[in-house]
């Protein structure tokens, strides 16, 4: 354990994660006195994403845990509109970084919830699975750069017509709710876990991960590998896939059995593919 800590410590100290207070659910707190003046100035935007828990502001409120499909799609559009506005505001760099980090977490959660439903219906999966998986990678690439205090640049865009199309097709299937939460949405825990597993994971070509609880792990690990590869850590992942295997997800079951899901994934890759599950 000490060896692992010594491995992680230099990386952690170079990130913004060491500056924040994390709650057990993965929520992130910032001192109110550092945030309040500018928060109040842009209250109409920031009230959508933050809650006051004196003496801190927390980067999650009830909307983060919404299971309502209309609220989720509205949230996606709000973030897509608000993030570029925040990036252009003349506010302190530390506050801007905290806000954009938080909005990226919201977007990750929303997309993961949608993927968790889309995966379970063949018609939705055929139309949206690939594009949403690719967008998850865009988001985890972005949050990885934020974590390592890279320059804040263009927020990953998402098509409103895509959101509307997903919403419309879900309504046709009488789908009006998504899963309330994803268990592994604690960025700090995922960061530490990555370094605990990176040597082993780096020997594989693809990650297969169960929905819904582990939806964020594969894209985050892949983004971390891409980033840390520039620091001479050997990496080799090229992709990831999901399977539905959870006794907790009773609302949106998968139309395919677990065995059929594995067979379907196997058809997408050569026999020599080295898989990490």
Q: Which of 78, 77, 100, 98 is nearest to 88 (CA)?
A: 100
| Percent of the chain clearing pLDDT 70 (strictly above) | 91
The most confident of the ranges 6-10, 122-126, 262-266 is: 122-126
| Percent of the chain clearing pLDDT 90 (strictly above) | 53
**What pTM, to 2 d.p., does this model score?**
0.90
Which comes out higher in pLDDT, residue 5 or 86? 86
CA distance 20 to 178: 29
Q: What is the pLDDT of residue 248?
A: 59
DSSP code per residue over 92-158: -HHHHHHHHHHHHHHHHHHHHHHHHHHTTSHHHHHHHHHHHHHHHHHHHHHHHHHHTTPPP-PPPP-
Give the residue extent of every domain in the chain.
Answer: 11-276
- Phi, psi torsion values for 175, nearest 5 degrees: -100, 115
Q: Helix or strand or coil: residue 273?
A: coil
């Amino acid at each position: 354990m000490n060896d692992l800590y010594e491995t992680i410590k230099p990386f952690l100290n170079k990130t913004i994660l060491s500056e924040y207070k994390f709650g057990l659910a993965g929520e992130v707190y910032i001192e109110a006195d550092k945030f309040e003046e500018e928060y109040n100035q842009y209250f109409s935007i920031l009230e959508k994403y933050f809650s006051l828990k004196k003496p801190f502001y927390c980067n999650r409120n009830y909307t983060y845990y919404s299971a309502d499909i209309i609220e989720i799609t509205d949230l996606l559009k709000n973030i897509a509109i608000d993030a570029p506005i925040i990036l252009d505001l003349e506010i302190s760099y530390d506050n801007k970084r905290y806000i954009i980090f938080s909005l990226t977490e919201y977007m990750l959660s929303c997309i993961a919830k949608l993927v968790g439903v889309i995966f379970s219906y063949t018609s939705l999966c055929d139309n949206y699975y690939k594009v949403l998986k690719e967008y998850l990678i865009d988001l985890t690439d972005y949050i990885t750069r934020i974590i390592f205090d890279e320059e804040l640049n263009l927020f990953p865009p998402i098509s409103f017509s895509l959101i509307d199309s997903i919403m419309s097709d879900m309504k046709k299937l009488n789908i009006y709710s998504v899963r309330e939460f994803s268990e592994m949405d604690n960025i700090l825990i995922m960061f530490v876990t990555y370094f605990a597993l990176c040597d082993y994971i780096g020997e594989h070509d693809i990650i297969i991960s169960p929905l819904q609880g582990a939806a964020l792990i594969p894209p985050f690990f892949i983004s971390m590998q891409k980033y840390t590869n520039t620091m001479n850590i050997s990496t080799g992942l090229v992709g990831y896939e999901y399977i539905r295997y959870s006794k907790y997800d009773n609302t949106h079951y998968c139309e395919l059995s677990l065995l059929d899901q594995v067979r379907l994934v196997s058809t997408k890759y050569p026999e020599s593919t080295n898989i990490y599950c």
